[in-house]
Structures are given as C-alpha cells and as structure tokens.
C-alpha cells in the first residue's frame, strides 16, 4: 500500500482474498496517473524482491505477484449495507485490469498492461511480448504488453 500511496494512488480501495486494487486519479492528466501506476508497480516489485531475499531461509520458496494495469473511467464509491460497507470501484476499466492481473499467471510474468496505456506513457523499454488477448466481458480482443518483472521498468 505504501508504494501506491507514494505514487499518489489510493490503495486498499478493494481487498480481495488475495489481492488489492488501487486507483490512480489524483494527478492532472491521464498520462500522469498511468505513469504513477507503473511507478507503483515498480516499487512493489522491488519490495517483493527484498521480502523474498529476507524470507527465503524461512519459507524455502519465493512469493510471486501479478499486476494488471489498464486506464479508463470507473465509478468509485461505497457499496454494501451496515457493517459490510466498503469503498470500491466498478466499471469496464476495473474489470479489464483484473483480467490482466489474472493473465499474469498464464503468461508466467509479473506485469501486464494494456497496449493503449503503454503507448500513452511513451515508455522506452520494450515489452517482453505484445499480443492480442480475449478478455472476458469484452467483445473485441485487446492488445497487451507483457513484462517479466515490474522492477525492470524504465520509469
């Protein structure tokens, strides 16, 4: 969460059993928000690397993460009733980002971003792979950029 907050994102908006969603909307432009999300992913990746080095003797295994990033419009607000009220975000952008995060498992990578986001951020680093994928909930496939590790992003 600290990496998200340092990058001007709102972390912990929605907790799943095994994940966290972050919203980046505090900057002046969509491009700045996207770059902030990429920077947070890089910081998270560095943090995971340090954690794995610290705990490798204790666990005899490495923890792995998957990060999916997409840009677009979403609705943020409180949902639920009584004690079950939680702040969350909904919309196509949220769904696509979640599907990209899930796709990291199939691709054996740490980070997948939509090609539109990658192109907008004008990154100089080339992705490991660029490909079209079918995303549940969308009729047309989207093009994604796959990166082995977020810590290696040139941002």
Tens digits of pLDDT across the chain (155 residues): 566 666 666 655 555 556 778 888 876 799 998 999 999 999 999 999 999 998 888 888 888 999 999 999 888 888 888 888 877 788 899 899 999 999 999 999 999 999 999 999 999 899 999 999 999 888 999 999 999 999 999 88
Residue 108 and residue 147 in contact, taking contact as beta carbons nearer than 8 Å: no
Which tokens hold the place of 132?
């079209």
Name the strand (E) or helix (H) holding 73.
Answer: none
Please give the angle made by the CA atoms of 68, 1 and 133, to the nearest 5 degrees: 5
Q: What is the pTM of this model?
A: 0.87
The answer to whether residues 66 and 75 touch, using CB atoms and an 8 Å cutoff, is no
Greatest alpha-carbon pair distance for the chain in Å reads 48
Beta-bridge mates of residue 69: 113
């Amino acid at each position: 969460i600290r990496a998200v907050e340092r990058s001007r994102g709102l972390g912990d908006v929605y907790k799943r059993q095994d994940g966290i969603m972050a919203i980046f909307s505090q900057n002046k432009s969509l491009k700045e928000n996207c770059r902030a999300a990429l920077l947070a992913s890089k910081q998270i990746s560095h943090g995971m690397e340090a954690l794995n080095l610290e705990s490798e003797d204790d666990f005899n295994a490495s923890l792995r993460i998957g990060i999916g990033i997409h840009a677009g419009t979403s609705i943020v607000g409180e949902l639920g009733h009584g004690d079950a009220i939680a702040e969350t975000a909904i919309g196509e952008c949220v769904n696509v980002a979640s599907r990209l995060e899930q796709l990291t498992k199939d691709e054996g990578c740490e980070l997948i971003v939509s090609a539109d986001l990658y192109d907008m951020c004008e990154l100089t680093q080339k992705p490991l792979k660029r490909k079209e994928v079918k995303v549940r909930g969308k009729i047309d496939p989207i093009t994604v950029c796959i990166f082995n590790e977020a810590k290696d992003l040139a941002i």
